[in-house]
Amino acid sequence: MAALEDAALEPVEDPPKRSTLLTVCPFILGNEFCERLAFYGLSTNLIIYMTRVMGEDNGFAAIQLNLFEGTCYLTPLLGAWLADSAWGRYKTILIFSSIYFLGMVLLTLSAWLPGMTPSPDEYASPLQNAFLYTSLYVVALGTGGIKPNVSAFGADQFDESDPQDRKEKTSFFNWFYFFVNIGSLLAVTVIVWVQENISWAVGFAIPAAVMACAIATFVAGAPLYTHVAPTESPISRVFKVVWAAYKAPRRSASPHDESSLDALLGDGANASLYLPAEANGGSLYQNGDGGVNGGTHGAGMGRPTKSLQWLDQATEARVQGGARRFTQRQVEEVKLVLRLLPIFATTVLYWTIYMQMGSFFVAQGVNMDRALALPWGGSFVIPAASLASINTVSIVALIPIYDKLLAPGMRKLGRPITLLQRIGWGLLVCVASMLMAGYVEHHRLSLCNFGTWDPPSTGGSPDGPFFSRFTFSGSQDDSHSSSSPDAGQYNSGGGNHKVHCLEEMSVWWQVPQYLLVGLSEVFTSIGQLEIFYDQAPDVMRSCSMALQLLSVCIGSYLSGAVVYGFSVYTSRYDPGGQGWLPKDLNQGRLDLFFLTLAALMVLNLLIFLRVASQYEYKAVEHVKRLVLPRSMQRPPRPPTHPPRSLPVDSRGASVAHPLAVPGAASIPSSPAPSIFSRSLAFMPKSPAMPAPFR
């Protein structure tokens, strides 16, 4: 009999684990690559399509483009809510991807069907505009279910209790951003060229076909995915807990009731029992912040924190019957979300500055020498917007360097880069990019105002250049010439004037500022992406990713507000009424605008450092996994009365006696039915496959 009991206690070994990053994530990364290629293939050249094909003026087209892109960053709130509270991430991504594909097909039809585009030199009719903008906003709706969920769904595949998965999850976020930029690079080069040189219909059809490939790639990996079940609306949870804490009677601070923390028993092919284990330095996923865990994903249980203790009052709220309305675990989940808000607020300005790359960096480049000499003779004029590819290439090159050299090297030195340190370094690099852009613009303006002119070859004194600044109107083919004058005053209204070309600054001077923006993305953008996933509770991770996207949206709108504000304010004090940002940048002070943004970012960085120093990382109490034989399945609940204690080896579990692990907290003796509800310690399980709509 004893031998049988010993046999029952023998643990069932897990099969050798394959790399999640190499076996599961390629389907998710491939999906993201195709989706980003489709999106940037649509949006990069959209303003050209609106002006050249649809006959819109630049101002109206820019407004419509901003509204479209802003909507693309607002709809993720809907997609995140559905993923976290109703459909789950997999189903949400699949349904919204289908909506996305429908919008791409409609856009292709708007460019291909006869009568859906106006004749040259005509404005689009209401019907033509309605068809175009309907297709665009269908695409914007489709992005809402993809943007906040794909990265979170990919990170869900990693088990934080597994050392290999903990290491690979950090690499996943780096490679996720890598494939985003590979898709972007192909879009701004190949797709844009097809649109302008072959056909707009073909140029839109290619992104539509690529989006179909994205859906197929995502579904192909379905048998391998781990799924996290949805729960109640996380947004409503936040408001309910905050309101309950506000309405609850005030009480003195007391130690947290550990019994209020939910326990969880997972089930599956082999039932797994998770017991709270005392966390030690060896069992924690160290992300560089000393005892800070990278995430839960069934790997541990959230521990009570000292921050935002006023929310603990919510545990005093009672429902009918006297039971607690909110457990301490649920309150801790809300705390995690609220602690991210200061990080959210201090990264908005980063995206405001980032948006200058697509606007004033391009406008600056237009006023520079963009001629590229060809080896076989002649020259090629580089489109100013094409220099944005330098940013993309720099990101693609720098991500592997960070992932394979910098981050591991710092860990070996005992100084790993924390998530907040990574964001902070990116904000500092962002300051450097604005300073560099300001320097380039200042130097360009100095050449513009004091450029080298052809000196007079005849005439008397003065023996030097003759400077004359005036404005003329006419076509680009007008010819102007001037004879060199003698000393004296001349009426420039008559005669033949020659407009000399200024000594233009090469556009390659912009390369450093584009590279610095790319470097800042590797630090801040990826760091922000990871911290909004890592530090959010499991039940709210899609909404947390939507919050990260919302910071991009607000930063984009804030960029427009800042530009408008500077234009209006500086024009009031400019004698010419043009201000710093006139239509002709040669008459403006774009350099001062860049320097002002750098100064604002310095102030923002100081605030961020203060926020980071006060931030309390999520602490997770890791658990020990006991794999039970198939015949045992779920162990029975402990009896309500205290039985005789029997020590159990940490490698196995007894079903006939209470479970006890040395140095570990015991499972509550009378767990409520709610202990099996979704919590920070939730263990995702893979359903029977195929399951495209689970």
Mean pLDDT, rounded, for 368-383: 76
Query: What is the reported pLDDT for 324?
Result: 58
Query: What is the reported pLDDT for 497?
Result: 46
Concatenated DSSP letters of 632-675: T-SPPPPPSS--------TT---SSS----TTSPPPPSS--GGG
What class has domain 342-450+501-617? mainly alpha
In this prediction, residue 359 has a pLDDT band, given cuts at 50, 70 and 90, of confident
3 state SS of 91? helix
Kindly tell me if the per-residue pLDDT of 105 is higher than 50: yes
Which amino acid belongs to residue 357?
M
Kindly tell me if the per-residue pLDDT of 691 is higher than 80: no
The residue among 465, 501, 419, 507 whose CA lies nearest residue 170 is 419
Say which residue, 671 or 450, is predicted with more confidence: 450
Contact at 8 Å (CB) between 359 and 47? Answer: no
State which H helix or E strand residue 376 sits in.
none
Contact at 8 Å (CB) between 505 and 317? Answer: no
Work out the percent of the chain whose per-residue pLDDT is above 90.
Answer: 13
Residue 677's Cα: distance from chain center in Å? 30
* Phi/psi of residue 629, nearest 5 degrees: -60, 155
Mean pLDDT, rounded, for 117-130: 80
Beta-carbon contacts of 610 under 8 Å, excluding residues fewer than 6 positions away, are none
**Counting every residue, how long is the chain?**
694
Say which residue, 17 or 476, is predicted with more confidence: 17
Exposure string over 392-424, b if 16+ CB within 10 A, otherwise e: bebbbebbeebbeeebeeeeeeeebbbbbbbbb
Kindly tell me if the per-residue pLDDT of 325 is higher than 70: no
Kindly tell me if the per-residue pLDDT of 243 is higher than 50: yes
Q: What is the C-alpha end-to-end distance of the chain, expressed in Å?
A: 44
* Phi/psi of residue 318, nearest 5 degrees: -120, 150
Q: Which residues pair with 276 in a beta bridge?
A: 623
The residue among 382, 341, 41 whose CA lies nearest residue 211 is 41
Query: What is the reported pLDDT for 694?
Result: 33
Highest mean pLDDT among 32-36, 614-618, 683-687: 32-36
Query: What is the reported pLDDT for 536?
Result: 77
CA–CA dist 71, 329 (Å, integer): 34
* Phi/psi of residue 236, nearest 5 degrees: -65, -35
Query: What is the reported pLDDT for 437?
Result: 92
Sign of CA dihedral 203, 74, 294, 86: negative
Q: Which of 396-400, 407-411, 622-626 has the lowest mean pLDDT?
A: 622-626
CA–CA dist 236, 216 (Å, integer): 34
Distances (CA, A) of 146 to 27, 230, 549: 14, 16, 11
CA–CA dist 648, 661 (Å, integer): 6
Kindly tell me if the per-residue pLDDT of 379 is higher than 70: yes
Q: Running DSSP on this structure, what letter comes out for residue 455?
A: P
Q: Which of 215-219, 396-400, 641-645, 681-685 has the lowest mean pLDDT?
A: 681-685
CA–CA dist 182, 37 (Å, integer): 8
Omega of the bond leading into 408 within 30 degrees of 0 (cis): no
**What would you report as the CA-atom Rg of the chain, rounded to the nearest whole angstrom?**
31
Omega of the bond leading into 462 within 30 degrees of 0 (cis): yes
Query: What is the reported pLDDT for 199?
Result: 86
CA dihedral (405, 513, 527, 352) in degrees, to 10, reads 180
Q: Which of 478-492, 524-538, 612-626 has the lowest mean pLDDT?
A: 478-492
Kindly tell me if the per-residue pLDDT of 93 is higher than 50: yes
Residues 253-272: pLDDT tens digits?
444 444 444 433 333 333 33
Mean pLDDT, rounded, for 402-427: 87
Kindly tell me if the per-residue pLDDT of 630 is higher than 70: no
Query: What is the reported pLDDT for 558?
Result: 83
In this prediction, residue 580 has a pLDDT band, given cuts at 50, 70 and 90, of confident
Q: Which of 288-297, 333-342, 358-367 has the lowest mean pLDDT?
A: 288-297
Say which residue, 56 or 17, is predicted with more confidence: 56
Beta-carbon contacts of 85 under 8 Å, excluding residues fewer than 6 positions away, are 230, 231, 232, 233, 234, 236
CA–CA dist 282, 291 (Å, integer): 10
Domains 17-231 and 342-450+501-617 share a fold: yes
The residue among 569, 541, 454, 560 whose CA lies nearest residue 502 is 454
Contact at 8 Å (CB) between 295 and 160? Answer: yes
3 state SS of 271? coil
> What residues does each domain of the chain span?
17-231, 342-450+501-617
Say which residue, 112 or 86, is predicted with more confidence: 112
In this prediction, residue 680 has a pLDDT band, given cuts at 50, 70 and 90, of very low
Q: Running DSSP on this structure, what letter comes out for residue 483?
A: P
Mean pLDDT, rounded, for 16-37: 83
- Compute the half-sphere exposure of residue 563: CA atoms within 13 Å on the CB side of its CA: 16
In this prediction, residue 594 has a pLDDT band, given cuts at 50, 70 and 90, of very high
Say which residue, 485 or 145, is predicted with more confidence: 145
Query: What is the reported pLDDT for 352?
Result: 87
What class has domain 17-231? mainly alpha
Residues 108-123: pLDDT tens digits?
998 888 887 887 777 7
Mean pLDDT, rounded, for 659-668: 42
CA–CA dist 163, 278 (Å, integer): 17
Contact at 8 Å (CB) between 598 and 431? Answer: yes
Query: What is the reported pLDDT for 64?
Result: 76
Highest mean pLDDT among 196-200, 471-475, 609-613: 609-613
Query: What is the reported pLDDT for 277?
Result: 32
Kindly tell me if the per-residue pLDDT of 327 is higher than 50: yes
Query: What is the reported pLDDT for 26?
Result: 87
Token pair recorded at residue 188: 């701004």
Mean pLDDT, rounded, for 518-544: 82
Contact at 8 Å (CB) between 230 and 87? Answer: yes
CA–CA dist 555, 348 (Å, integer): 5
CA–CA dist 334, 536 (Å, integer): 9
Exposure string over 20-54, b if 16+ CB within 10 A, otherwise e: bbeebbbbbbbbbbbbbbbbbbbbbbbbebbeebb
Which amino acid belongs to residue 554?
I
Query: What is the reported pLDDT for 317?
Result: 57
Contact at 8 Å (CB) between 353 and 597? Answer: yes
- Compute the half-sphere exposure of residue 602: CA atoms within 13 Å on the CB side of its CA: 10
In this prediction, residue 531 has a pLDDT band, given cuts at 50, 70 and 90, of confident
In this prediction, residue 310 has a pLDDT band, given cuts at 50, 70 and 90, of low
